Amino acid sequence: MPKFSANLSMLFTELPFLDRFEAAAKADFKAVEFLFPYAYPVKEIRHRLDDNGLRLVLHNLPAGDWDAGERGMACDPARTEEFRSGIAQAMDYALALGVPQINCLAGKAPAGVAPQALREAFVSNLSRAAAAFKPAGLRLLIEPINTYDIPGFYLSRTDQALAILDAVGADNAFVQYDIYHAQRVEGELAATLQKNLSRIAHIQLADNPGRNEPGTGEINWPFLFAHLDRIGYEGWIGCEYKPASTTLAGLPWRQRLVGP
């Protein structure tokens, strides 16, 4: 049976961020995830998790100036020191909040930088992060993101992510597989998940087109959820979608599409 976590960067956004934890618990989520914790004191987030009986299953490394359109910096050779300074900050939050895994956004490829230099910077930064995370028992994730939504994003395909991880060579580094992004770029959802299951540590979802809740688009969710059960996926599935109306109005998809 799939286990769904609420992505608080996308769901319950009519509420202040810290109030979304209670809303998620009341909506029968047992776990949450979000983009970044860094704007809030770690004790305050811990308090919200504990008071609502929630687990935090994922957050991201610092990713630059999000409001200005930055979407990570790990592929940028000019920002290596900035990236590496974020490793310690991410670990401090993760260890205090009980997070088992941290996602690294590759970022947009900066203009004028050779492809080989981008790859070398990304591999080097990931190697540094994975080595720092390992003694703490943390997993490092990388996420392919479609280049329709984020033009110029460096990491966009599953096979590219796997090749990068091969170059990193760390046994605590995995793919975060976002079904929405994968559907837009490459399709072949069921086959890709089955073939690479051992290298996928976290899954996220949204339907396509629109990036709304499951059942609003073209993806065959009853089949896909049953398929994940059949192939033995045991991790969390993050609900990282834009509600078509309100979060609560759209949540009946969980009962309707998962099955008995």
Strand 139-142 to 236-239 pairing: unpaired
Q: Is 143 a catalytic residue?
A: yes
Q: List the catalytic residue out of 143, 186, 213, 234.
A: 143
Distance CA 33, CA 175 (A): 16
Q: List the catalytic residue out of 33, 218, 234, 240.
A: 240
Q: Is 22 a catalytic residue?
A: no
Distance CA 255, CA 260 (A): 8
| Secondary structure element (H or E) that encloses residue 204, with its range | strand 200-205
Is the separation of the CB atoms in 36 and 66 below 8 Å?
A: yes
Q: What is the DSSP letter of 245?
A: S
Q: Residue type for 91, please? A: M
Is the separation of the CB atoms in 96 and 138 below 8 Å?
A: no
Hey, which residues are catalytic here? 143, 240
